[in-house]
Structure 1
Amino acid sequence: MTQDIQRYHSNARMSKIVQYGGLVFLCGQTASGSAPTPIEDQTREVLRRIDTLLAEAGSDRSRLLSATIYLKHMEDFAAMNATWEAWMPSGAAPARTTVQANLASPDLLIEITVVAASA
C-alpha cells in the first residue's frame, strides 16, 4: 500500500511542511528580519514558528521525534538551551543534535529543523 506524501507551502526549492506515514517534517526555521537580535529572541521566534507549523500539520511540540539545531556561534549554546528547555514539555525531549554552521544571512544566529509524529 502506497501512502500519499503531502506538501504544504511549497515552491520550486522546498516545502515548509511535508507529511508522510504519520510523520511531520519541517524545513529549517529561522528568525525573520534583518536587524541583529540576541540568541534568546531568535530562538523564541524560531520555536513559535515551529509551534505554528506543527499545529497546522496536526501535531505539537510534545510529539517531536528529532531536532537538529544549527548555531552560528557555539558560545550561544547555553543561552539557546535555556530557551529551548523552557519551551520543551517535561518528558518530551526529542533526539537532538546541535552543530555550529554558517547560516544563510549574517544576522541569523540559529536555525532549527524538526521531525514530529502526527497527532
Structure 2
Amino acid sequence: MIKRIETGTRMSKVVIHNDVAYLCGQVGSGTTVTEQTKDCLARVDALLEQVGSSREHMLQAIVWMSDMADVAEMNAVWDAWVPQGHAPARACEEAKLVSESLKVEVIVTAAIPS
C-alpha cells in the first residue's frame, strides 16, 4: 500500500511505502546558509514526526547546495542536528536550485518504526 501526504498537482510532501517515508525536498527561510539549513531541517523534523518517525530513523539524505563553497557552513548545522551514531547515508552535491535565493535543499528517506 502507498500512502501520500499533502498531495498536490506536482508532488506529495511525503510518500510512505513498506514503512519507509520518502520526503520531498525541503528548503528553508532566511538569507544565510546557516538560517536556511536550520529551517529546512526543522521542516524535516516536523514531517518525520507527522509520520511517526524521527531523525534517528533516517536512512538516506541528499543535500543540494547552490554553491559548494558553503558546504562547511551547512555541515556545521547538519553535524549538530544528526544524532550521534545515527548518521544516514548521505550525498551532497552542487545544483542550480529552483530559486536564486535558495542555498540548501535536503531530501530525506526514513524508516517508520513499528
Determine whether 1:48 maps to 2:42. yes
Query: Which of the residues 4, 11, 15 maps onto 1:18?
Result: 15
**Number of residue pairs aligned between Structure 1 and Structure 2:** 113
Alignment of 1:86-97 (within 5 A): 86-97=80-91
Q: Gaps spanning 5+ residues in structure 2: where?
A: none
Name the SS of the counterpart of 1:55 in structure 2.
Answer: helix
Give the TM-score of the pair, scaled to structure 1. Answer: 0.93
CA RMSD of aligned residues (A): 0.8
Name the SS of the counterpart of 2:47 in structure 1.
Answer: helix
Give the TM-score of the pair, scaled to structure 2. Answer: 0.97
How far the C-alpha of 1:48 sits from its partner, in A, is: 0.1
Read off the aligned partner of 1:118 and give its amino acid letter: I
Q: Gaps spanning 5+ residues in structure 1: where?
A: none
Runs (4+) off by over 3 Å: none
Greater Rg, structure 1 or structure 2? 1
How far the C-alpha of 1:12 sits from its partner, in A, is: 1.3
Q: Distance in 2 between matches of 1:31 and 1:22?
A: 26
